[in-house]
Amino acid sequence: MPKLGNTVEECLLAKWRKQPGEAVAAGEVIAEIETDKASFDLTAPVAGTLLAAFFNEGALVPVYTNICVIGEAGENAEVFRPSPGVPPPAPEPPAVLPAASEVAAAGAAPAPPAAPVSPPPPAKGTLSPRARRFAERHGFSPGTLSGSGPGGRVLERDIRAAYYSSPRLSSLAARYVESGYEIQAEGSGAGGLVLARDLGEPGVALSGVRARIARRMRESLASTAQYTLNASADATGLLALRGKIKAARANGAAIADVNIGDMIMFCAIRTLVEMPWLNVEFSGGKLYQRSSVHIGFACDTPRGLLVPVVRASEKLTIEELAGRIRALTQQALDGSISPDDLAGGTFTVSNLGSFGIESFTPILNPPQVAVLGVDAIQLKPVRRNGGVEFVDHLGLSLTLDHQVIDGAPGARFLQALRNHVENIESLSGLRFQETLHV
C-alpha cells in the first residue's frame, strides 16, 4: 500500500480489479484504493501473475503494507503475508460494576475494575438455550436485543416479544427483502402483514468518497453557525482585463491565460492578506491565525467534489496562480493529484458562475471559517449621471461562521473584495503594450 501523501497513514482497499490467478501487465490497474480525500488506481509495478491478495475489499490497510503478491505461478506468496499488526481488542470490563457506595463501604480507594473472574457474567445479548431454539425454529435473527435475564441475557420471552412485534413479511415480500428491497411503508396486508407493494426499491450505498463528502457536509452544518452574505461587484474591469489577455495572447504575447475565475481567486487572496481575520481556523474552541493563505477551490470531478489547495498563494503573481490552478485542476480530473494537495486549505472558493447561478449558500469546510461562492455575471441597473445604465455585475456569496466572524467584519471583507474585483487590472500587476490596443 503506497503512502499517498505525508498525512496519509492508511488507505481503504475499495476494489480489487484483478483476482488471484490472473495475469497482470506492468502498469495495469490491479486495485482501487481510497484515502479520506479521493480514490486512486493502484497499478502493478511489474508483470506477472497475481499470486495472492491479502485484504478483502473494504479493508483499511496501513501504508507500506503488502496487499498482494505478483510473481511466477507456483511461487510461495505466503512469506509476504503481513503479520497481523493490530492486537485483538482487549476484553471489555464486566457489564456490572460494583456500586460506588459498596466500594466506599469496603474502605478501599476506588480501583480500576479487576479483570473479569471466571465464569464471566453473560454479556448483554447472549441467548438462553430456549431463546436460541425459538429463534432457530422461527428463522428469526434478533439482531441486538437487550434481554431481561441476568446480565442482559436474552430469554425466550424477550425473543418471543421481539419476534411478534417486528414486522411480519409475506413470503413474497421476504424474498424481495432478501434481494435488498427495503420496508418503507407500514404493512398494508391482513393484520399489518408487509406485502411486496409496501417495499421500496433497494437503496445503493454511497461510494467511499461520496460517503465522506456526506459526512463532512453534515458535520459542517452541525458544528458551525453558517450564514451567507450576498453582494455584487461591477464586473466591467474583469471582462475588460480578460479581453485584453485574450487579445494579447492572440497577438503572441507571452502572457498566461488568466481567466475570470483566476482573477477572483487572486482578489480573494489579496483581500485575505489585508484582512487576515478570515484566514483563520477554528477548532476545539480555539482560533488559529494562519500566516499563509492556502486557498482551496472546489473542483467537480468524475470521482466527486474535490478541493485542491494552492499553498502559500499570497506569494504568487496572478500568472503563477493561474498556472498552479490549471495544473491542480488537471490532476484532480485525471486522478493523479496527491492527497497532500487536497488538504490544509485555510480558505475556499467555489465557483458556480459558469452554470448561471445567481446566488447560493456555499458550505463551510471546517475548521475554515469562510468560503466564497462565485456567481454568474449579470446585468444590473445602476443609477448613473441622472439616469439608469445596465452594467455587468459579478455575484459574490460569502458564507461565514458566525461563531467567530460577525456580520459587520464579514461585510467589510466582502466590501474590500468588491473593490479589488472592480480594480482588478491595477491589482493584477499585468502590463500591456500600448501597441496591442488596436
Partner 1 sequence: MYDLIVIGAGPGGYEAAAHAARMGKKVALAEKQYVGGTCLNVGCIPTKAFLKSSKVFTECKNAAAYGVSTGDVRFDLPAVVARKNKVVGTLTRGVESMLKRAGVEIIRGHARLASRSAVSIGGETLEARNILIASGSRPAVPPIPGIDSETVLDSTAALNLTSVPDRLAIIGGGYIGLEFASFFAAVGARVTVLEMLPQIAAGTDQDIANRLQQALRKSGVEFKTSCRVTRIEGDAVRFVSQDGSETSLTADRILNSTGRAPVLADLSLEEAGVDFDSKGIRTSDQGKTNVPGVWACGDVTGRRLLAHAATREGIVAVNNMFGGKDRIRYDAIPAVIYTHPEVAGVGKTEEELRAQGIEYRKAVVPMAVAGRFLVENEGGSGTLKVLAGARHGEILGVHAIGDSSSEFIVAAAAMVEFEMCAAEARQLVFPHPTVSEALREAILELKQ
| Contacts of 294 by beta carbon, 8 Å cutoff, 6+ apart | 309, 310, 311, 312, 313, 344, 345, 346, 347
- Find the distance separating the first CA and the last CA of the chain, reported in whole Å: 58
Regarding 138 and contact with partner 1 (CB under 8 A), the answer is no
Number of residues that bind partner 1 (CB under 8 A): 12
Select from 336, 257, 350, 260 the least CA-distant residue to 302: 336
Give the span between the Cα atoms of 93 and 49, in whole angstroms. Answer: 47
Give the span between the Cα atoms of 57 and 55, in whole angstroms. Answer: 7
Q: Which stretch binds partner 1 (CB under 8 A): 86-94, 191-199, 221-229, 314-322?
A: 191-199
Select from 116, 78, 122 the least CA-distant residue to 98: 116
Give the nearer residue to partner 1 in terms of CB position, either 181 or 413: 181
Regarding 173 and contact with partner 1 (CB under 8 A), the answer is yes
User: What is the nearest approach in angstroms of partner 1 to the Cβ of residue 193?
Assistant: 7
CA distances from 145 to 124, 128, 174 (A): 8, 12, 21
CB 158 within 8 A of CB 147: yes
Q: What share of the chain is helix, strand, coil (3-state, %, to 5)?
A: 35, 25, 45
Give the nearer residue to partner 1 in terms of CB position, either 99 or 190: 190
- Report 196-225 residues binding partner 1 (CB under 8 A): 196
Give the nearer residue to partner 1 in terms of CB position, either 198 or 319: 198
Residue 338 Cα to chain centre, angstroms: 15
Whats the size of the chain, residue-wise? 438
Q: Which stretch binds partner 1 (CB under 8 A): 37-45, 131-139, 189-197, 349-357?
A: 189-197
User: What is the nearest approach in angstroms of partner 1 to the Cβ of residue 186?
Assistant: 9
Q: Which stretch binds partner 1 (CB under 8 A): 23-31, 108-116, 186-194, 345-353?
A: 186-194
Give the span between the Cα atoms of 409 and 272, in whole angstroms. Answer: 12
Which of 83, 118, 171, 291 touches partner 1 by CB under 8 A?
Answer: 171
Give the nearer residue to partner 1 in terms of CB position, either 158 or 198: 198
User: What is the nearest approach in angstroms of partner 1 to the Cβ of residue 166?
Assistant: 17
Which of 63, 103, 177, 195 touches partner 1 by CB under 8 A?
Answer: 195
Give the nearer residue to partner 1 in terms of CB position, either 165 or 171: 171
Which of 81, 175, 315, 412 touches partner 1 by CB under 8 A?
Answer: 175
ω into 409 cis (within 30 of 0): no
Give the span between the Cα atoms of 84 and 27, in whole angstroms. Answer: 29
User: What is the nearest approach in angstroms of partner 1 to the Cβ of residue 217?
Assistant: 38
Buried (b) or exposed (e) across 22-36, using 16+ Cβ within 10 A? eebeeeeebbbbbbb
Q: Which stretch binds partner 1 (CB under 8 A): 82-90, 165-173, 306-314, 366-374?
A: 165-173
Regarding 228 and contact with partner 1 (CB under 8 A), the answer is no
Alpha helix ranges (H) inside 251-296: 260-274
Give the nearer residue to partner 1 in terms of CB position, either 188 or 361: 188
Give the nearer residue to partner 1 in terms of CB position, either 175 or 412: 175
CA distances from 176 to 61, 137, 170, 181, 188 (A): 35, 22, 10, 5, 16
Q: Which stretch binds partner 1 (CB under 8 A): 88-96, 184-192, 220-228, 374-382?
A: 184-192
User: What is the nearest approach in angstroms of partner 1 to the Cβ of residue 141?
Assistant: 20
Give the nearer residue to partner 1 in terms of CB position, either 181 or 282: 181
Give the nearer residue to partner 1 in terms of CB position, either 6 or 166: 166
Q: Which residues bind partner 1 (CB under 8 A)?
A: 170-173, 175-176, 188-190, 193, 195-196
